[in-house]
Chains A and B, each alone.
Chain A
Amino acid sequence: DVKVTQSSRYLVKRTGEKVFLECVQDMDHENMFWYRQDPGLGLRLIYFSYDVKMKEKGDIPEGYSVSREKKERFSLILESASTNQTSMYLCASKVRQGTDTQYFGPGTRLTVL
């Protein structure tokens, strides 16, 4: 089975802090994704990566950056956390484009005070 893990289930940070969210997948997937989930808005794509050191902006990249130094690991960085970034963050991975299923991690619920 595909396994996608995220470094924290719950995280509390203060406004202005730099925040790192880590995601690791164990199935040698090329593509990895970061989403945020908010009630009534569904899932919105922040960034995705289709290869090591490669990234593309999603629909809401402002205030975020990403890093993919190794194939199995995809990090989401909040350069200076703000209260409007309080949300559930979900990581996903899949093998290649098109028909393949995205597999999700358990999520990180981030609260910014």
Chain B
Amino acid sequence: AQSVAQPEDQVNVAEGNPLTVKCTYSVSGNPYLFWYVQYPNRGLQFLLKYITGDNLVKGSYGFEAEFNKSQTSFHLKKPSALVSDSALYFCAVSNYGNNRLAFGKGNQVVVIP
């Protein structure tokens, strides 16, 4: 079975400071990893994904994520947070031949002006 853990319910960060949202995963075989963002009363928007290749993946809105196989982690990062980055962030995992995504519980990010 595949699963994702997002250990922090909420992340508070001052505007302009680096933002990190943590994600660890469990899956058989090689993982396919995704990050999504959800703004209030909206659907999920795709940010980035790791399938294979470089461990550092760059995505939309200046976000990036680092795949670490030994730590089974895929943390989302942004060098300088904006107030508009305040949203709910979801990490998800799948693997080869699997049609399903397993989602974490989500992290609320609050960027303080």
Interface residues of A (CB under 8 A from B): 4, 9, 31, 40-45, 48, 50, 56, 58, 90, 92, 97-99, 101-107, 109
Contacts and interface: CB of A to CB of B under 8 A. Distances in A.
Output the residue of B9, B34, B41 with the most chain A CB within 10 A.
Answer: B41
A43 B103 contact: yes
Interface residues of B, number: 24
Contacts, number: 54
B101 A98 contact: no
B75 interface: no
Contact of A43 (B51, B90, B96): B90
A39 B2 CA distance: 21
Interface of B: 9, 32, 34, 36, 41-46, 49, 51, 90, 94, 96-101, 103-106
> 4 nearest interchain CB pairs?
A104-B43, A42-B105, A43-B103, A104-B44
A101 B45 contact: no
A51 to B, nearest CB: 11
